[in-house]
Amino acid sequence: MNVAVAVTPEFALRVRRDEPLSRHTSWHVGGPAEVFFNPRDVAELAAFLKSVPADVPVTFIGLGSNLLVRDGGLPGVVISTQGTLDALERLSETQVRVGAGVACARIARQCVKWGLGPAEFFAGIPGTLGGALAMNAGAFGGETWAHVLKVHTIDRRGRSHERARAEYQVSYREVLMPAADEWFIGAELAFERKPAAHTRDVHTLLEQRRATQPIGEWSCGSVFTNPPGDHAARLIEAAGLKGYRLGGASVSQKHANFIINHGAASARDLESLIAHVRDTVARVHGITLTPEVRIVGVP
User: Domain check: are 225 and 163 in the same one?
Assistant: no
Q: How far apart are CA 262 and CA 112, in angstroms?
A: 35
User: Domain check: are 74 and 94 in the same one?
Assistant: no
CA dihedral 129, 135, 136, 138 (to 10 degrees): -80
Structurally, the chain folds into a number of domains equal to 3
Within-domain flag for 163:
yes
Eight-class DSSP state of 157: T
- Residuewise pLDDT in 10s, the chain (299 residues): 444 788 899 999 999 999 999 999 999 999 999 999 999 999 999 999 999 999 999 999 999 999 999 999 999 999 999 899 999 999 999 999 999 999 999 999 999 999 998 999 999 999 999 999 999 999 999 999 999 999 999 999 999 999 999 999 999 999 999 988 999 999 999 999 987 666 777 778 778 888 899 999 999 999 999 999 999 999 999 999 999 999 999 999 999 999 999 999 999 999 999 999 999 999 999 999 999 999 999 99
User: Domain check: are 112 and 183 in the same one?
Assistant: yes
Structural domain boundaries enclosing 163:
88-193
pLDDT in tens, 76-105: 999 999 899 999 999 999 999 999 999 999
Q: Strand 142-143 and strand 138-139: pairing? A: antiparallel
CATH number of the domain that 37 lies in? 3.30.43.10
Within-domain flag for 20:
yes
Residue 224's CB is within 10 A of a number of other CB atoms, namely: 24
Within-domain flag for 206:
no
Q: Which of 32, 64, 80 is the last residue of a domain?
A: 80
Q: How far apart are CA 45 and CA 229, in angstroms?
A: 42
In this predicted structure, what is the pLDDT of residue 194?
Answer: 82
User: Domain check: are 59 and 133 in the same one?
Assistant: no
Within-domain flag for 207:
no
User: Domain check: are 69 and 98 in the same one?
Assistant: no
Give catalytic residue positions. Answer: 173, 222, 292
Within-domain flag for 246:
yes
> CB–CB of 65/131 below 8 Å?
yes
Within-domain flag for 1:
no
Beta bridge partners of 103: 128
Q: How far apart are CA 236 and CA 251, in angstroms?
A: 9
CATH number of the domain that 237 lies in? 3.90.78.10
Residue 173's CB is within 10 A of a number of other CB atoms, namely: 17
User: Domain check: are 94 and 155 in the same one?
Assistant: yes
Rg over CA atoms, the chain:
19
Within-domain flag for 280:
yes
Helix 104-113 with 199-212: angle, nearest 10 deg:
150
CATH number of the domain that 152 lies in? 3.30.465.10
Within-domain flag for 2:
no
User: Domain check: are 151 and 125 in the same one?
Assistant: yes
User: Domain check: are 75 and 96 in the same one?
Assistant: no
User: Domain check: are 93 and 186 in the same one?
Assistant: yes
Q: Which of 125, 158, 193 is the last residue of a domain?
A: 193
Q: What is the pTM of this model?
A: 0.92
